[in-house]
Amino acid sequence: MKTAEIASANIISRVGSNNLGLSKEAIEKLNQEYLPLHFEERIRRVYQDFEPQDILVTSSFAATSAYFLHIIAGIRPEQVIHFVNTGYHFSETLNYRDYLTEKYSLTVEDLTPDKHLHAYSQSEHLWESDPDLCCSVNKIKPLEEVKSRYKVWISSLMGWQSDHRASLNIFEERRGIIKFNPMLDVTKEERDAYIAKHDLPFHPLVAEGYESIGCSHCTVKGEGRAGRWQGKEKTECGLHL
């Protein structure tokens, strides 16, 4: 039996399981066990506690995505990275995706929306009239389709980025998958120190004043996430809610 199988079996046998393989008690136990660890130890350990092929990694190839991708590539170089390609990204984002893919020898797979739904979002300018529906069609649905193949989804969310993110646990069950948020307690200063130490490249639009970068229709220059969905109530695309 592989280490991952043994570890996973131990967790399940200690606290019982559900259709994801883990009960609420098991998730709580994982939270207790992972909390004292450094975030890189958490990521190393999750590949031992779960089958690597059950682990989903996504990247938006946004402002500082090189940070998370550099860490993942160092710990598990063969990890497939899924990119939700909404069709509304800046050309600089697509170039940044290609640049990082080559620089860190990543395996990146694009997830694209249904072409009819995407065309509808385009003809109706849904990002203006109903941005939640637009995100649902172009981001959430393509990801939902791939999520069913996985049990654990690693995020790079950090608590200082928003109140919602600050309220999360390291492990949470969300819409049929276990969200693993190993970097919640990484401070902005720690992230910036890592980026400087490894001389990691920022998204090219960061130099022009964009600190958070999503689709071109919904992103303007601004500090933190202030430039996202400006003038609207919306603060998250819904992928992480």
Residues in region 9-48 near ligand SF4 by CB under 6 A: none
**Interaction of residue 135 with ligand SF4, rule CB under 6 A:** yes
Residue 59 vs 138, nearer CB to ligand SF4: 138
Name 146's Cβ contacts closer than 8 Å, sequence gap at least 6: 56, 82, 111
* Number of residues counted as binding ligand SF4 (CB under 6 A): 13
Q: How far is the CB of 51 from ligand SF4 (least distance, A)?
A: 31
Q: Considering the rule CB under 6 A, would residue 118 count as an interface residue with ligand SF4?
A: no
Sole binder of ligand SF4 in the list 106, 111, 170, 237 (CB under 6 A):
237
Instruction: Please select the residue that binds ligand SF4; options are 34, 83, 88, 210, rule is CB under 6 A.
Output: 88
Candidates 16-24, 36-44, 61-69, 212-220; binding stretch for ligand SF4 (CB under 6 A) = 212-220
Q: Tell me: does residue 86 bind ligand SF4 (CB under 6 A).
A: yes
Task: Report the residue from 11, 57, 62, 134 that binds ligand SF4 according to the rule CB under 6 A.
Answer: 134
CA distance 119 to 171: 36
- 138 near ligand SF4 (CB under 6 A): yes
- C-alpha pair distances (Å), 79 with each of 8, 106, 124, 186: 19, 8, 37, 22
Q: Which of 34, 68, 96, 127 binds ligand SF4 (CB under 6 A)?
A: 127
Stretch that binds ligand SF4, among 8-16, 57-65, 145-153, 209-217 (CB under 6 A): 209-217
Q: Answer yes or no whether residue 210 interacts with ligand SF4 by CB under 6 A.
A: no
Contact with ligand SF4 (CB under 6 A): which of 56, 111, 213, 218? 218
Residue 85, interface with ligand SF4 (CB under 6 A)? no
Q: How far is the CB of 213 from ligand SF4 (least distance, A)?
A: 10
Is 134 one of the annotated active-site residues of the chain?
A: no
222 DSSP β-pair partners = 210
Instruction: Output the 3-class SS for the chain.
Output: CCHHHHHHHHHHHHHCCCCCCCCHHHHHHHHHHHCCCCHHHHHHHHHHHCCHHHEEEECCCCCCHHHHHHHHHHHCCCCEEEEECCCCECHHHHHHHHHHHHHCCCEEEEECCCHHHHHHHHHCCHHHHCHHHHHHHHHHHHHHHHHCCCCEEECCCCHHHCHHHHCCCCEEEECCEEEECCCCCCCHHHHHHHHHHCCCCCCHHHHHCECCCCEHHHECCECCCCCECCCCCCCCCCCCC
Residues interacting with ligand SF4, by CB under 6 A?
86, 88, 127, 131, 134-135, 138-139, 214-215, 217-218, 237
> Which sequence positions are flagged as catalytic?
237
